[in-house]
């Protein structure tokens, strides 16, 4: 497994944990964002992508694109 794949999985798990706390209202939006190391606006964007596309909506698309420079 590549390092980037491992990091993606870790990021997914951390988001799901923060999202679960936010849904149960045991965490505020700001607290969930702080756990993830992002600002609250980024957390809101992640929420939208997660709710629209599921967990795959959080994947970093830059990692799957081929470089334009060869």
Residue 24 lies in a domain: yes
Write the pLDDT tens digit of every residue in 28-41: 999 999 999 999 99
**Whole-structure pTM value:** 0.75
Number of domains in the chain: 1
Residue 19 lies in a domain: yes
Residue 68 lies in a domain: no
Q: Which domain holds residue 47?
A: 3-57
pLDDT value at residue 42:
93
Q: What is the DSSP letter of 18?
A: H
Residue 32 lies in a domain: yes
The answer for residues whose C-beta is within 8 angstroms of residue 37's C-beta and 6 or more apart is: none
% of the chain with per-residue pLDDT over 70: 84
Residue 64 lies in a domain: no
Write the pLDDT tens digit of every residue in 7-60: 888 989 999 999 999 999 999 999 999 999 999 999 999 999 999 998 888 876
């Amino acid at each position: 497994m590549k390092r980037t794949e491992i990091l993606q999985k870790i990021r997914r798990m951390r988001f799901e944990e923060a999202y679960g706390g936010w849904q149960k209202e045991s965490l505020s939006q700001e607290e969930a964002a702080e756990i993830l190391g992002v600002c609250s606006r980024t957390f809101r964007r992640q929420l939208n992508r997660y709710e629209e596309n599921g967990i795959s909506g959080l994947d970093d698309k830059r990692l799957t694109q081929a470089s334009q420079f060869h």
